[in-house]
Amino acid sequence: MAPYSEAGLQHEQPFCISGALNPTDMTQRTIPVELKLSNTNPLKSRTGCLVLPVANQKKLTGTTALADKESGGYLRKILKQNDLAESPGATLVLHNVPELDAQRVLLVSAGDSKKVSPQAFDRMTTATAVALSTPGIRDCVSCLNDLEVDDKDLTWQSRSLAQALVSNTYKFDLHKSVKASKRTKFDGKATIFVSQRSLNKSVEAGIVQGTAIANGMSLARDLGNTAANVCTPTYLGKEAKRLEKTFPAIKTRLLNESQMEKLGMGALLSVSAGSVEEAKLICMEYKGAASSKKPVVLVGKGVTFDTGGISIKPSAGMDEMKFDMCGAASVFGVMQSIAEMKLKMNVIGVVAAAENMPGSKATKPGDIVTSMSGKTIEVLNTDAEGRLVLCDALTYISKYKPDVVIDIATLTGAVIVALGNHTTGLMSNDDSLAEDLYTAGVEAQDKCWRLPLWDEYEKQLSSNFADLANIGGRSAGTITAGCFLASFAKEYKWAHLDIAGVAWKQGGAKGSTGRPVPLLVQYLLNRS
């Protein structure tokens, strides 16, 4: 975006957006950040904080250069003292800058590169949201859009800032008897400066997208963070009904165990057999286009708690198995995001929800179950249950005649060994779909990496007693799990996202991340 000229300054626009949904009490809440745009000279704004980008400390540009000139060279004087690091996202707060009406000026470094990369800009917006969390800052004006970001437009830049500001407000205190009373995050009015009125629609679109993505991530995080004795398959069903009530474009259908049994979903039901919690197949249908348009179908693994069943897990860290439904949570998050944006396409979100417990009726290692497809499966390990709930869902969704199908699951620990906690594992039976997902991940800074689905790996799933086994041995565990699912997805273009490494954090920052909501929403935006 080209920096504005003072002669082109115009008036503030009325556009603003705020609001989100809270799944934990089934009521609507308001996210405390109010986002709006303005064409008014930011240097004359009586704001709590004026946010200025610094792309080159020796040669300031855009609004930052004008602010320096207005202050009699004060900004350059400060920068010469090297108090602002040149790494992307470094920040420096200045108080009472001469001749500026803002109470504070927040300088945000874009790094020392000639071009501002999307990664650098994302770091800048995230750092801005954190820096604004100072208790005294109640409102701000951002001029970050002065920068030109490599291969990105103004909509993308505005989305990055909106998403960062709204995401930064996230907190989860559902289970705390005493709620946090201190203000620890920015929750005021954020104004995005736009140099020309002709650019307003681009910024508005970015604000809507960024807010919707952040709200979808918050929903996914809420569901993932909720304790497993609360967030059961039945709870997820009620959450789906809440979305239907909130967004008229979403219609929800719930299948109970009796209905699934009639459909022959023996694989899915084998997982819930040991639990008193009834499994659910949750179908959320979003209609944003003509019925003739084939839908994108998202299928989420919704194991609300995974003990491992009879193949029980070690006790250390088992509490984190409430996050085994984060694939399902991401489907909920995406459905909310696209409904908020009123995306003009058809999307169906299907969640296979079950609890995996070692009860007296639980499936045992060596048991053979019959899937909805008719294929028989030897269950060699009851802790490889995600693929069992998903395979029946993948068969069921063929009724929708989908254009593409993407399943999302915390499926294997092996993907963490392969890709760490930064990258989602991707497998697909269609090269163009895989490329589109990879591209969307890069655009959304929610990356994935493709792994192969070759015939050699399928052989590891052979069984002496059934059509296939549910595990393929120790080697290539992520790939053989993908191969298992691929055998149930031959009728359509399909991709599998293994999010076991990215869906939640451990340690002091323990909690759901809301990934891969940004990746999936970006993919859908690109299609629309």
Interval 308-351: pLDDT, tens: 999 999 999 999 999 999 999 999 999 999 999 999 999 999 99
Please say if 387 is a catalytic residue.
yes
- As a whole number of Å, the end-to-end CA separation of the chain is 24
> Do residue 119 and residue 234 come from a single domain?
no
> Do residue 300 and residue 245 come from a single domain?
yes
In this prediction, residue 56 carries a pLDDT of 87
Task: Write out the two tokens for 456.
Answer: 């050699």
Report the CATH number at residue 334. Answer: 3.40.630.10
Of 167, 198, 229, the domain-final residue: 198
Q: Above pLDDT 90, what percent of the chain?
A: 86
pLDDT at residue 10 greater than cutoff 70: no
Single-letter amino acid code for the residue at 238: K
Interval 225-249: pLDDT, tens: 999 999 999 999 999 999 999 999 9
Q: Is residue 491 part of a domain?
A: yes
Residue 426's φ and ψ, nearest 5 degrees, are -125, 130
> Do residue 422 and residue 354 come from a single domain?
yes
CA distance 450 to 358: 34
Single-letter amino acid code for the residue at 454: W
pLDDT at residue 22 greater than cutoff 80: no
**What stretch of H or E contains 209?**
helix 200-225
pLDDT at residue 31 greater than cutoff 70: no
> Do residue 230 and residue 170 come from a single domain?
no
What is the rounded average pLDDT of the residues 460-480?
A: 96
In this prediction, residue 135 carries a pLDDT of 84
> Do residue 189 and residue 236 come from a single domain?
no
Whole-number Cα distances in Å, 249 to 328, 341, 344, 347: 20, 11, 11, 10
pLDDT at residue 383 greater than cutoff 90: yes
Q: Is residue 205 part of a domain?
A: no
In this prediction, residue 2 carries a pLDDT of 36
> Do residue 272 and residue 174 come from a single domain?
no
pLDDT at residue 256 greater than cutoff 90: yes
pLDDT at residue 391 greater than cutoff 60: yes
> Do residue 228 and residue 372 come from a single domain?
yes
Q: Is residue 207 part of a domain?
A: no
Q: Above pLDDT 70, what percent of the chain?
A: 93
In the set 152, 387, 447, 515, the catalytic residue is 387
Global confidence as pTM: 0.93
Report the CATH number at residue 12. Answer: 3.40.220.10
- β-strand pairing of 20-22 with 16-17: unpaired
Which DSSP letter does residue 293 get?
Answer: S
Please say if 313 is a catalytic residue.
yes
Q: Is residue 208 part of a domain?
A: no
pLDDT tier at 23, thresholds 50, 70, 90: very low
Whole-number Cα distances in Å, 473 to 207, 262, 270, 458: 47, 32, 21, 11
What is the rounded average pLDDT of the residues 450-456?
A: 95
Domain that holds residue 164: 6-198
Of 165, 198, 231, the domain-final residue: 198
Q: Is residue 210 part of a domain?
A: no
Contacts of 248 (CB under 8 A, 6+ apart): none
> Do residue 183 and residue 140 come from a single domain?
yes
CA distance 222 to 355: 18
In this prediction, residue 113 carries a pLDDT of 76
> Do residue 191 and residue 236 come from a single domain?
no
> Do residue 114 and residue 257 come from a single domain?
no
Q: Is residue 204 part of a domain?
A: no
> Do residue 161 and residue 229 come from a single domain?
no
Q: Counting Cβ atoms within 10 Å, is residue 18 exposed (0-12), middle (13-18) or buried (19+)? A: middle
Q: Is residue 346 part of a domain?
A: yes
In this prediction, residue 58 carries a pLDDT of 86
In the set 287, 294, 313, 505, the catalytic residue is 313
Summary mean pLDDT of the chain: 92
Interval 159-214: pLDDT, tens: 999 999 999 989 888 888 887 766 668 878 999 999 899 999 999 999 999 999 99
CA distance 392 to 260: 9
State the total domains in the chain.
2
Q: Which of 214, 197, 206 is nearest to 163 (CA)?
A: 214
> Do residue 191 and residue 244 come from a single domain?
no
